[in-house]
Every structure is written in C-alpha cells, then in structure tokens.
Amino acid sequence: MTSFAVRPGPDTDDRVRCLVVMGTRPEAIKMLPVVQALQSSELLQPYVVNTGQHADLVAPILRAAGIEADVNLEIGGTGNTINGLVRDCVAAFDDLLLMLRGGPERRSRPRLFGAAENSGNPYPALTLVHGDTTSAMAAALASMGCKLPVVHVEAGLRTRDILSPFPEELNRQLISRMAAFHLAPTPANQANLIREGVDPERVFVTGNTGIDALHWAADLHQEWPDPRLARLDQLDVPLLVVTAHRRENLGAPIQRIAAAVRQIALERPDLVVVWPVHPNPKVRDDVYGILGGTPNVVLTEPMDYIPFARLLQRATLAISDSGGVQEEAPSVGTPVLVAREESERPEGVEAGALILVGSDTDRIREVSLKLLSDPAARSAMTAIRNPFGDGHAARRIREALEYLVFDTMPPDRYGAAFSRMKVLEASGYDAREIEITSGKIAAAHPELRKGAGAMLALASMRR
C-alpha cells in the first residue's frame, strides 16, 4: 500500500464529491477554474487529487488560488519513465479509492449515484481528468478498474499520430476510450470524437477552461518576479515571449529555435526577448548555451503562472510550442508563432490567430521580424474572436455535472448539447436503474425540483 499525504481534518461537508485530478502545470491551470466552480456548487464539491508528477510547478498555482489539494499521491515525475509513472499512479490512485471506500471493491455496479443517494457518503461520484498527461491517463485507468465514471475535460484534441506528440496523443486517445462523458473545448474537438465513433450525445462543448483561468490570472496584476523585467513597465518597448520544451522539440529543434531567437534579438536591439526556460536539463543546456550573453534576451526560471499570464498579455508576439500558450495568447490579443510541425489546435491556425512555423531557423526569423514591424498584420491575427473559449467553460462544466448526478436543469448550450441518459448508460447503468435511482435521489433530496427557482430555494436552505 502506497503512503501519501491526505489533507487532515473531519469532513462535515455532505455535498457529493467529484475527484479532480491534476499533476502537471497545464492540468493545474486548466482544472483550477473547475475546482473553483465546484466549490461554489450547492450539490457537488471538488476533491483535489494532486498526483505529484510536477510538484514544484503545481504548488504555486494552487497557492495563488487558495486551493489546497485534498490528497497528494507523491508519485514524483522527474526521472521517472512513462511506464514507471503509469505503474506508480495506478497503484497510488487505487489505494486512494480503497481508502475513500473504506474497503476493497466488491461491487460490479457503477457508483455514480451512491454518493447522491446517501448524503455524506465520502466515496466520489466520478473522476475528472484533464487533457493528455500520463498521470491523467493512469488515473482514468484506475478509476475504470473500480467502475468510477471518468469525465474528460479538454476532450477531443487530436493530431491522429500516436507517436507525435508522444505520449500525449496516445494518452488523449486512451482517455477517450475510457470516458463516459467528454467535455470538448470546441466543435472541432467534438467532431474528432464523433469521427472516432464516440456517441455525439455523450459530448458537451464547453470552451476551454484555460481561457477562464487566464482571465482570472490577468485580473490579479501580480508584480514581475525578476528585476530585469522592470523595463516592461515602459509600454512602448516591444516584447517577444518565447517558451519551448515539448519532447519532440528536444535537441536539434530547440537549438534551431534558439538560433532564430538570437538572430531576431540581434537584428532588433530595441526588442526585449523574455524566455522562461523549462527545468528540463536538455532544454536549459541548449537555451543557455545559445542565448546566454545576448544583451536584450532575458532568460528566466520557469515563471509562476500568474506573472506569466501578465507577461503574455504584455507581449507583442509569442513564439511557443506549448499547447496552453497557443490557446491563451489570442484571448489577450497576442499573436503566436507555433514552433511545431503540426498542431492539435487547428481552429487557431484556421482562424488566423496562430501561424505554424515548425523549428526552421530562417522561417521563424523571417515571420517574426515581419510581424514585429507590422502592427496591421499583428492586429489582423488578433482581431478574431478566440475560437478556444469565452471564459465560461467551468460554469458550464459545473452545471453539466449537477444535471448528470442530480437531474437539475440542463446547462445552457455553448456548442452541442448532450444526453444525460446516454452518459449514465456509458457509466454502466441501464435505463430502468437510472429511473429507479433518480426517483430515490429525488426522495432523498425533496428540496430538489427541476428549475432555477428550486435551485435558489435549495441554495438558501443550505446557507
């Protein structure tokens, strides 16, 4: 049995628990609005599971939002292999479920309703995993082993090449095979799932929660973490922000990207370039080796998310291989050159907010210099409505989950609607069971009647 840290203290909150799994920086950022939305629910509560894959990068994000993980699985990421992560995460997650259940799993029935039928039941109704990390995939697998329904946040992104990016694309596709309920950021993501045979009635289009998070972070207006950034307070100084760390870019591609950045910086001495360098030693060696000593290039430690959001908002242009940055930057008016050969976010490329430049030194240099000196071309890229979300994804997710478990009012549509019945059937219930159990829940919660008025009455009763 694994030992891990569980947040101490008696839990007297009788709202139904939803496990929210996170372990890496992008998961923490994009799950944060979901955790906040569930905290505000009268019916559901988040139970935050930090897998510990990138402990150092996740802690400051949770701290800034005043969120404390309920459990830390402490699986440790750096240095662990992909198989080691899967093994450690499945084992630790299984132990967590055992602990929450108070004994081994003997039932063959799913448990989604168990918590709703008996208020105060500590066992969760479902597991929310995000995106494409190995720990998300392993948490989904461990949940499935206990028939705990999996809800996939940021579902349906695809390159369709399971080797690129690796292992992320494989993880995404595997999670899609396991999830009962798919929360797709965009209609294009929904279409990918349907093309793979996922029932359209189990997909709900929500917008990307990363946009919700960025709006929250930008509003905090935190101090620059590094004194060398004070110059950015002069708003007429152009700023190029660069990030790169994807596995497929390690080695020669990052060296080519860094070489392009060096040429851009030398040709535009008025420009400030800020590159928060990822902790991966391979990335650090190459980036510091090629760019160290370039006068107008500031290489920083990986930046905490909140100041990074401000940096992105302040930027004139970004060059990045990060998935999150591709979605976020357009919502704060910053055009992005995507330093990858392909993107699983074609909406942004099609809409014109992103340009795919790969890792070709000449192309990156040429396109960057053109955009930096052409405000009209930059405005043309950022004038479009952000195809990735409107900042209300997490509220839609909360409403969808309340509807799923408690049969409250369905959430408003952002893109497509979904069928509660189909999602529950995919969780392992048959139609008759759903009807009987829904009746029992209604009896256990007489205050719950469909409709906004009843929800308000419920809210005031609980206060």
Residue 207 C-beta: closest distance to ligand UDP, Å: 15
User: What x/- string results for residues 221 through 260 when contact with ligand UDP is judged by CB under 6 A?
Assistant: ----------------------x-----------------
The C-alpha atoms of residue 348 and residue 354 are separated, in whole angstroms, by: 5
The C-alpha atoms of residue 314 and residue 390 are separated, in whole angstroms, by: 20
Q: Quick one: 174 or 303, whose CB is closer to ligand UDP?
A: 303
Three-class secondary structure of residue 181 per DSSP: strand
Binding of residue 62 to ligand UDP (CB under 6 A) = no
The C-alpha atoms of residue 193 and residue 207 are separated, in whole angstroms, by: 15
Q: Quick one: 174 or 405, whose CB is closer to ligand UDP?
A: 174
Binding of residue 302 to ligand UDP (CB under 6 A) = yes
Residue among 33, 323, 387, 391 that touches ligand UDP (CB under 6 A): 323
Closest to 68 in 3D by CA, of 81, 55, 59: 59
Residue among 88, 94, 328, 399 that touches ligand UDP (CB under 6 A): 328
- Catalytic residue status for 132: yes
Asked if residues 396 and 171 have their Cβ atoms less than 8 Å apart, the reply is no
Q: Which stretch binds ligand UDP (CB under 6 A): 96-104, 176-184, 303-311, 396-404?
A: 303-311
Binding of residue 325 to ligand UDP (CB under 6 A) = yes
Binding of residue 181 to ligand UDP (CB under 6 A) = no
Q: Which stretch binds ligand UDP (CB under 6 A): 44-52, 187-195, 302-310, 391-399?
A: 302-310
Residue 249 C-beta: closest distance to ligand UDP, Å: 10
C-alpha triplet 162, 128, 150: angle, nearest 5°: 70
Half-sphere exposure of 371 (CA within 13 A, CB side): 27
Q: Quick one: 276 or 411, whose CB is closer to ligand UDP?
A: 276
Residue 54 C-beta: closest distance to ligand UDP, Å: 8
Q: Quick one: 180 or 298, whose CB is closer to ligand UDP?
A: 298
The C-alpha atoms of residue 109 and residue 432 are separated, in whole angstroms, by: 14
- Catalytic residue status for 362: no
Burial class (CB in 10 A: 0-12, 13-18, 19+), 333: middle
Binding of residue 26 to ligand UDP (CB under 6 A) = yes
Q: How far is CA 64 from CA 50, 59, 366, in A?
A: 16, 9, 38
Residue 93 C-beta: closest distance to ligand UDP, Å: 21
Where in 148-258 does DSSP place strands (E)? 150-153, 181-184, 203-205, 239-243
Length of the chain: 463
Residues with catalytic function: 132, 154, 168, 245, 247, 278
Q: Contact positions toward ligand UDP, by CB under 6 A?
A: 25-26, 29, 210, 243, 276, 302-303, 305, 308, 322-325, 328
